[in-house]
Structure formats: C-alpha cells, structure tokens
Amino acid sequence: MRGTLRTREAVRIALRDSGGGVGHGEALPLPGYSADTALQAELALAAAAARARTVGGLALPDDGLAPAAYLNAALVPFDTLLTTTPSARFALECALLGLLAGRAGVSAAQWLAGRRALHQVAVSVLLPDDDSAVAAAGAAAARGHTVLKLKIALPGRSAADEEARIAAVRAAADAASRPGAVRLRLDANGALPPAEVAARLAALAGFGIELVEEPCPAPALRTLPLPWAADESLADPALAAALLARPPGRGPAALVLKPATLGLARCLDLADAANARGLGVIVTHAFDGDLGFAAARALAAALPAPPLPCGLAPHPGLSRRWPNGPVLAAPTAAGLDLPEATVETRS
C-alpha cells in the first residue's frame, strides 16, 4: 500500500436477531490494493440480503464448531456472491462476530479465541515516508514501541538513499531507548527486483532488521539474507499453501494477516497453520474504519500464540478514541469493543 488517499467509500450493514441483538459490519475497500470496489461490495451485500430474505433469514450452524468453521458455515449460502468481493465478506463476518459475541456476553476477541486465553498485543509503528521519519522513530522508541516499520523500494529513491534513511532511523531509535532494544521491520510491497533483492537485503543486515515484508514478487521469494514475511502473496490460497509447504529456512518466517482483505475465518486458519510450523504472525489493518479496526484488534488478541508486534496503531481515518500505546490489553467488553467517538462521521 503506497501513496496518499483523501477519501474512501464505505458500505455499512447490520445483522439483527429476533431477540433484539445487533451486529454491525463495514466494507471499506482500499483503492489500488483491495480486490473489490465499494460498489461491488454494495451490490454483493444487497444480493446477500435479498437471498437471506427469501429463506427467512441467516441460518446459524451448530455451536460446536470452531470459530473459523462457524463463520464459514454461516456464510455458505452466500459463497457465490462473496467469492470476488472480500470486503463484503469481511463486513458480514464482522457483523456476525459482533452479534454472536454480544449474545454470548463475551468480547469479540474471546469469541474468536474459543477456550484459549487472550493475549496482550505489542504494537509496531509505521514511520512516514518523508524526512519526518527520523523524529517519529525517536518519539515511538521513547514511548516504548519495540518495532518500527519503514517502507522500502519506493519510486525515485535509490538504494543508497534508503540505506542512509534506515541508518538515521536506527540511530534515532537507539538514542531514545536502549541500543538494540528496537527492531526495524521493512516492507517492500513486493517491489524489489528479483535480481537485486539478495544484495539489497544483505546490505541492510547490520541495522537490526526484524524481518522484511513481501520483499519481491512472489515467484522469486526464496532463501534471503534476512527473514521475510508473506503478505500480499497470501491473497492467493494456492500460493499461500505452497509457501507454507516449503521446508524450514526456505519459506517465510512470518505471515502478515490483514482481515479486511483475507477475511476473519481465513486469518484464523492461516494463524493455526503458522503456529503449527513455528512461524510468527503479524496482524495489521488495511486503513480500516472503526469496525474493521476493532475486528483486527480482536483477532490479534485471539491468536493461538502471541503475535509479533502488530500494525494496529490508530491511523488518521478513524473516528474514535483508540488506545495508542506500545501494548494493547486484551478486549473485555462484550461484542466488538468500540471506544467513544470523537469525530462526527457521515454514512
């Protein structure tokens, strides 16, 4: 995800049960990144609502199912409508999650976790792409954040320029905290040329790099000088399965889970697969609205093992007073945990 976006279109939905319970969801596709548009999501959700009305509502499956299986089973009647509209599916998953967790009197995180204990979640900080990154790095390190994220392979920026920027960020983080206490996470969005990726990453190995998200196009992902995480490549289920099947050392060190693009159920399944293989997991938003952001935070707290520091710091597009510290406490309020609103928003 790169560039600046001033406005986005959202589609909000509500699921209601006969007892007065309600769950809310929101489709907020990210232009240039999401696989669908707001119009496509709106049409899919309208078709799903029409289909639900013809059969007397949404039939809920057996309570004995695991959370991912439950969400998938509940949405089976709408699979043909949602296959190409992941934003619409996520909106339905969020609404269903909020409704079911509220009915059960537990947080959305606890509903997703089932019988597992919830985790506190450490939060990473995405640094700006401009000259303010150095000051932002020092401030974040002083607040106690232990992972700072920088975009690399940016258009118009040379390898030498990027190395100098990373060195300056490293120095600022070390000056504001104990040297080496802060790790740097890089994100190339798959943009490093395959012929250059090994040399480019080797040159950065001395800067305390935690890992590199999606360093190059998926076909070229292999053993690299730095640990790497699969991100955009997870959108293709076949490619994700192939990456997970690789032997240790040749596949990803971690998976980056964006529930807004992958869906909650699939994120839970991928987290289970990562945990079984000893891989790390990072949960991050896709500049979601408040409902999607709440669902992403719930997912991070519900994982089978504590995640790596997650990309869940509040962003300017949110309208509520979200906690903004280096560690998130596990949610406790029933349903999707939304803090108070601070800005009037229009639907």
Give the residue numbers marked as catalytic.
Answer: 151, 258
If DSSP codes are grouped into helix, strand and coil, which group holds residue 280? strand
Q: How far is CA 259 from the centre of its chain?
A: 5
Full 3-state SS string of 48-90: HHHHHHHCCCCCCCCCCCCHHHHHHHHCHHHHHHHCCCHHHHH
Give the sign of the dihedral formed by CA 182, CA 308, CA 133, CA 139. negative
Helix residue ranges, H only, the chain:
38-54, 67-74, 79-82, 86-104, 108-113, 133-143, 159-176, 197-202, 237-244, 259-262, 264-276, 290-302
Q: Which two tokens stand for residue 209?
A: 């790099």
Local structure of residue 106 (DSSP, 8 states): S
Q: How far is CA 158 from the centre of its chain?
A: 29
Largest CA distance in the chain: 63
CA distance 19 to 120: 33
> Beta partners for 123?
310
CA distance 11 to 178: 45
